[in-house]
Amino acid sequence: MTSATAYCPALFVTAPSSDSGKTTLVAAMARYWRNQGKKVRVFKSGPDFIDPIFHEFASGQPAYQLDLGMLGEDICKQHIYLAAKEADLIIIEGVMGMYDGINSSAALAMKFGIPLLAVINAAKMAQTFGAIAYGLANYNKDANLFGVIANFVGSPGHTQMLKDSLPAEIAFCGAMPRDPSLALPERHLGLIQANEIDGLDQWLDHVAQVLGENCALPLPEPIAFEAPQSACGDFLNNTPMAQPLAGKTIAVAKDAAFTFIYRDNITLLEQLGANIRYFSVLHDAALPKADSLYLPGGYPELHLTALSQNKAMQQSIIEHIHAQKPTLAECGGMLYLLEELTNKDTDSAQLTGAIPGKAVMQKRFQGLGMLTAKLGEHQLTGHCFHYSKSQVDLQTIAIATQAGKTQMQEPVFWHNNILASYVHWYFPSAPALIAALFNGQFDSIIEPSE
């Protein structure tokens, strides 16, 4: 059977390393072309939660993660195909350096035949700019790095020097000035969340204007993107599925403290038949009426006072758990269920106490990477990035482990119908397991009957 095909221009924005300015440039591009009347769909390579929110503000369209390791090739392919059917342009922001990791930006771009544009931090640099661009383009001859943008450039003379350093086969696509007004503010887990920035639309219009004045931005040539033949990505296209969660309502925390939610997770839950009810742990007095609870990750350490003072919400969650209703707690959601959390300023707060244990924020990150846990016969994949160190007084039911040489590990806990860990799970990696969890049938998965 021949796959369906959609045609759309696409561009993969990469860099030699993190902190090169990719997110700012991608947001500026999305807003620039949106302001030209184009429908732009933006993706983020890797499991990042924060950058896609900026992409959504910039483009006015939903943004998703793309990661060959977490999503798999078929779901990545489905995402790009569906975007190509409706968009005038697809932009993908890379992660870290262009060749970093097994599932690198270069690997993803080559997999789908998308040309790469490198953003290079040119501050304190002259002819070495050309050497870096040449290395990126030639490290793997199958990677189509067609051009570069110089970032943090000091003057027109500096720009010309950088341009002259490039080999003829690599296009100089422009230079962005060294200007503090173009920078996004940062915080310990990365960028401040988009909804925390006043005047974000004005800032986006500003950087888009500067980009248009300093960079050549013709639309790339359309690329043919095929739909996957596998059924793995069907939930993205609203293909009819079995609905084991029909009639079930899942309360999902979503506010400034709990915001790290993969869109694909919610899409899958809805396709499995669930009704999603969002609520605020910070501001609401009680859970909405629900059959199960999902506490995703976020920044509970930045909202200790509000979380600890909202005793009504804590009591509502305790009642939910005492009623033996399922709960999934990821990273910050797990911290909220502990007895105590201490932030980096050594301020401590008593929290829900549904899980015996405490956590303390550290100055350096304590866990980072893609992990997989074996739960019964199922493999559940996810990502973690956390700065806290916790002591949980429970036996583990599984250890989420990282493939490759690093072998990072994270414990997974099961207590009073709560599945808790530092891992932000990607639900489509094990839909049957997720359905069993939110259906209150998780015990039968981890302890199958004879």
Which amino acids are annotated catalytic? 331
Angstrom distance (rounded) from CA 201 to CA 182: 13
DSSP annotation string for 430-446: SHHHHHHHHTT-HHHHH
430 torsion bin: left (phi>0), alpha (psi -120 to 50), beta (else): beta
Task: Quote the CA–CA distance of 231 and 222 in Å, as a whole number.
Answer: 26
Residue in 93, 36, 86 with CA at minimum distance from that of residue 61: 86
CB count, 10 Å around CB of 128? 13
- What is the C-alpha to C-alpha distance for residues 337 and 156, in angstroms, rounded to an integer? 55
Q: b/e string for 387-401 if b means 16 or more Cβ within 10 A?
A: bbebebeeeebbebe
DSSP classification of residue 215: B
In sequence order, the β-bridge partners of residue 13 are: 93, 117
| The residue type at 321 | I
Strand partners for 340: 350, 358
Tokens standing for residue 384: 């973690």
> CA 157 to CA 160: how far, in whole Å?
5
Half-sphere exposure of 142 (CA within 13 A, CB side): 10
Question: Using CA atoms, how far apart are residues 404 and 379, in angstroms rounded to an integer?
Answer: 17
Q: How far is CA 200 from CA 20, 54, 181, 203, 261, in A?
A: 21, 9, 12, 5, 21
- Identify the three-state secondary structure at position 187: strand
Maximum distance among all alpha carbons in the chain? 76
| DSSP, residue by residue, 111-145 | HHT--EEEEEE-TT-STHHHHHHHHHHHSSTTS-E
From the list 375, 386, 384, 369, the residue with the least C-alpha distance to 429 is 375
